[in-house]
Amino acid sequence: MSRLIVISNRVSAPKGRSPAGAQGGLAVALGAMLREYRGLWFGWSGEKTDHFTGQINMHREDGITTATIDLEEQDVDEYYNGYANRTLWPLFHYRIDLAEYDRSFGSGYERVNHRFAETVAPLIEPDDIVWVHDYHLIPLGTQLRQAGLKNKIGFFLHIPWPPRRLLVSLPFHERLVRSMLDYDLIGFQNEEWLDSFRDYVRHELGGTVDDDGTIVVGKRKVKAGCYPIGVDFEEFTEAVKSDETQLAYDRLLQSAEDKKVIIGVDRLDYSKGIEERFWGYRRFLEEHPDYHGQVLLLQIAPPSRGEVHTYEAIRERLDELSGRINGGFAEVDWVPIRYVNRGYNRAELAGFYRASDIGLITPLRDGMNLVAKEYVAAQDPEDPGVLILSRFAGSASQLGDALLVNPYSKDEISDAIRQALDMPLDERKRRWRSMYDSVAKEDVVWWRQGFVEALKGVEKRANLTIAS
């Protein structure tokens, strides 16, 4: 059996008490996979060093073998805070107005990808299968090929792929996309992102797409497909049964004092639509004074990427907006918004989800959004809550029985909240059962097996034809 080598920006083996709201789905998904498959997880440790040496720190814990490197402060500033999170992240989330183009960011991005490649290449054996993750490491396939690797190498993008008309605003966009042709398989979260990639290849690179999903550009061929990520369903549903989940459930119910609870759980990020969500909730309070004192919004938003100034700005705006809403509508015995800037572990979140009548998940653009799936998985089958979901989340294509809304429209959010609060039990059960079956079937095991099996099935390279 071939080993599986996973490469991602950060290596953070998940533990049961890790703050899921802050960590995101990648660490959870990869951790579950690496416990099952023999192999290695390589990436940045999250630590800084004065001088990059390429020293690898090997560690094995809870069935997961990791190999990490430290990066210089300049690397972190230019590669991570710079190109990854101030250039690619906003652009790929359709926020061209926030994307920053700086020559030093691009050079730092290339430099760190090269350092990843030269450090991990000696650890990779000829029969290993390599799986590279996310927008931080798009050029890594080319770097590994230049290091002489002929292995089967796959790449999975966890965030959206932007339309061609936006991507062409990126300096050297063609060079970046051509570097992806050195992978054997490219995976996207849903058909929309895949179609956008194909559209770019056809119109900017003069490529073609075969019926089986093979993309052909000159002499290069690469498979591309849709592989939507799921939750670790078995582990999450076990967490729902835990004492810790029950305590969190009881805690929220008791503090809500018979009020209807609406919950949102997101990293503190402009792509999550929290500001627009607050405006939508405000519109609901304006239009439905009969619900004053009867409903509350619990928004959990752990901080992220504090080094990037746009995140400081969104936090300031949310602090101000939540304060204005509470100041304008609160009574001595009722506060309409509980806004919490900290993370909770998955067992606690499961309890909060189960105790909430509505899950309000309204990102402006999201590759997938596993919180929506976790909310569904946590519900009581006899009295399930209602999921309100942005139609621009990748998960909307799988969770069609949610109340789908345009997150930019405060009126749609307001109307959906009222519809959810008034929804009869039989309709809540019907919608929930359909979504639950999807979440249970298309889980993280289904996702990783689908991608890895497809990668195993590609033809191994007999020679190197590096994209240029």
Q: Are residues 34 and 138 in the same domain?
A: yes
Model pLDDT for residues 290-300, shown as the tens digit of each residue: 999 999 999 99
Token code pair at residue 123: 């650890």
Specify the pLDDT at position 464: 54
Out of 30-44, 264-278, 389-403, least confident range: 30-44
Q: Say if residue 420 is exposed, middle or buried (CB neighbours under 10 Å; 0-12, 13-18, 19+).
A: buried
What three-state secondary structure class fits 267?
coil
> Please, which residues have CB within 8 angstroms of residue 234's CB and are 6 or more apart in sequence?
443, 445
Token code pair at residue 208: 């073609």
Residue 18: pLDDT band (50, 70, 90) is very low
* CB atoms closer than 10 angstroms to residue 408: 15
Q: What is the mean pLDDT of residues 260-274?
A: 96
Token code pair at residue 370: 């596993």
User: Is pLDDT above 60 for 24?
Assistant: no
Q: What is the mean pLDDT of residues 61-87?
A: 93
Specify the pLDDT at position 64: 81
Predicted model pTM: 0.93
3-state secondary structure 44-56: EEEEEECCCCCCC
> Does residue 462 lie in a domain region?
no
> Does residue 464 lie in a domain region?
no
> Does residue 281 lie in a domain region?
yes
> Please, which residues have CB within 8 angstroms of residue 87's CB and are 6 or more apart in sequence?
99, 100, 101, 102, 105, 106, 170
Q: What is the mean pLDDT of residues 47-71?
A: 92
User: Is pLDDT above 80 for 402?
Assistant: yes
Q: Are residues 428 and 453 in the same domain?
A: no
Q: Whole-angstrom distance between the N-terminal and C-terminal Cα of the chain?
A: 33
Q: What is the mean pLDDT of residues 406-416?
A: 98
> Does residue 465 lie in a domain region?
no
Q: Are residues 414 and 452 in the same domain?
A: no
User: Is pLDDT above 70 for 154?
Assistant: yes
What three-state secondary structure class fits 427?
helix
User: Is pLDDT above 90 for 312?
Assistant: no
Residue 350 is part of which domain span?
Answer: 238-440
Rg (the chain; Cα; Å): 22
Query: How far are the Cα atoms of 46, 268, 284, 301 from residue 311, in angstroms, in the given order?
Result: 19, 7, 27, 12
Q: Are residues 170 and 46 in the same domain?
A: yes
User: Is pLDDT above 90 for 39?
Assistant: no
Out of 264-278, 304-318, 359-373, least confident range: 304-318
- In this structure, are strands 295-300 and 337-340 parallel, antiparallel, or unpaired? parallel
Specify the pLDDT at position 406: 98
Q: Are residues 314 and 451 in the same domain?
A: no
Question: 185 pairs with which residues across the strands?
Answer: 154, 223
Q: What distance in Å separates the CA atoms of residue 100 and residue 80, rounded to the nearest whole number?
A: 13
Q: What distance in Å separates the CA atoms of residue 136 and residue 10, rounded to the nearest whole number?
A: 10
Q: What distance in Å separates the CA atoms of residue 156 and residue 194, rounded to the nearest whole number?
A: 11
Q: What distance in Å separates the CA atoms of residue 117 and residue 121, rounded to the nearest whole number?
A: 6
Q: Are residues 261 and 167 in the same domain?
A: no
Element (H, E) at 266: none
Specify the pLDDT at position 38: 76
E strand spans, 289-396: 295-300, 337-340, 358-361, 386-390
User: Is pLDDT above 90 for 380?
Assistant: yes
Q: Are residues 252 and 167 in the same domain?
A: no
Residue 29: pLDDT band (50, 70, 90) is low
Q: How many domains does the chain have?
A: 2
Q: Which of 158, 182, 232, 357 is catalytic?
A: 158
- Catalytic-residue membership of 292: no
Token code pair at residue 122: 């000696």
Q: Give the torsion through C-alpha atoms of 255, 260, 265, 269, to 10 deg.
A: -110
H-assigned helices in 330-443: 346-355, 370-377, 410-422, 425-441
> Does residue 397 lie in a domain region?
yes
Specify the pLDDT at position 125: 93
Model pLDDT for residues 99-111, shown as the tens digit of each residue: 999 999 999 999 9
What three-state secondary structure class fits 299?
strand
Query: What residue has token string 């061609």?
Result: 164
Q: Are residues 424 and 449 in the same domain?
A: no
Q: Are residues 179 and 256 in the same domain?
A: no
Q: Are residues 328 and 191 in the same domain?
A: no
Q: Are residues 153 and 268 in the same domain?
A: no
Specify the pLDDT at position 23: 42
Question: 360 pairs with which residues across the strands?
Answer: 388
User: Is pLDDT above 80 for 400?
Assistant: yes
Cα–Cα–Cα angle for 200, 204, 210, nearest 5°?
A: 60
Domain containing residue 185: CATH number = 3.40.50.2000
> Does residue 34 lie in a domain region?
yes
Specify the pLDDT at position 306: 62
Residue 30: pLDDT band (50, 70, 90) is confident
Q: Which of 269, 366, 401, 443 is catalytic?
A: 366
Q: What is the mean pLDDT of residues 141-156?
A: 97
> Does residue 466 lie in a domain region?
no
- Catalytic-residue membership of 383: no
> Does residue 387 lie in a domain region?
yes
Q: Are residues 91 and 210 in the same domain?
A: yes
Q: What distance in Å separates the CA atoms of residue 303 and residue 39, rounded to the nearest whole number?
A: 32
H-assigned helices in 363-409: 370-377
Q: What distance in Å separates the CA atoms of residue 361 and residue 387, rounded to the nearest whole number?
A: 8
